Structure 1
Amino acid sequence: MVAPRLKVTTIRAVVPFKLIVTFSDGSYGTFDAAPMIGERGEGTEPLRERRFFGRVELANGVPTWPNHFDVSPLWLREEMEKCGELTVPRATRPR
């Protein structure tokens, strides 16, 4: 059996350069995108403008901006976990 692919189910950009994210596995939290967009590259350059950064949308569960720059949900979740910004709900036991 193939494990279901992790997706982002909701995303919202907040100032300055943060994303509030919920994943398909129920985990959620805040991602500080400032280090990511501070890196050099033509994909991240437009994201430095706050209005453009706020135009993030989901394309099949993947955070994507109008310039087609996207972020892997798995990478995003791992980065949030490393920074202590990920909340994983406790599994509920059947009664």
Structure 2
Amino acid sequence: MLIKVRKAKILGDVRLAVEFSDDTIGERDFSFIKSESGPMLEPLKELAYFQRVFVEDGVLTWPNGYDWDPIALHDEMKKAGLLHRLDAAE
């Protein structure tokens, strides 16, 4: 099953609520980005820029073209116990 991001909602600072195509949702803290390096990640270290995230073709994306693999994000969040079924969230 191909996993895509349906929605992303900013919860404050660098926390996002991410809804996936398999009807799961979870919250993810992206503060670790501040300690990462690379030209594509540098703009994301600024809060205002990070919060310009949007979903394009099922992928978290930023204006500079940086994107986050939805399957890797889903798997990481699932392993960390951060995902739950949408119907359980309501």
User: TM tier, shorter chain?
Assistant: 0.7 to 0.9
CA contact (8 A) 2:3 2:74 kept: no
* Higher helix proportion: 2
Equivalent position of 2:29 in the other structure:
32
Match of residue 73 from structure 1: 70
- Out of 42, 47, 50, the position equivalent to 2:47 is 50
More strand by share: 2
Please, what is the CA RMSD of the aligned residues? 1.6
| TM superposition score normalised by structure 1 | 0.82
Structure 2 portions without partners, runs of 5+: none
Aligned sequence identity (%): 37
Amino acid at match of 1:53: F
User: Which runs of no fewer than 5 residues in structure 1 stay unpaired?
Assistant: 91-95
Helix, strand or coil: the match of 1:66? Answer: coil
Closer, same or farther in 2 for the Cα pair 1:37/1:88, shift >3 Å?
farther
Number of aligned positions between the proteins: 87
Q: CA deviation at 1:82?
A: 2.7
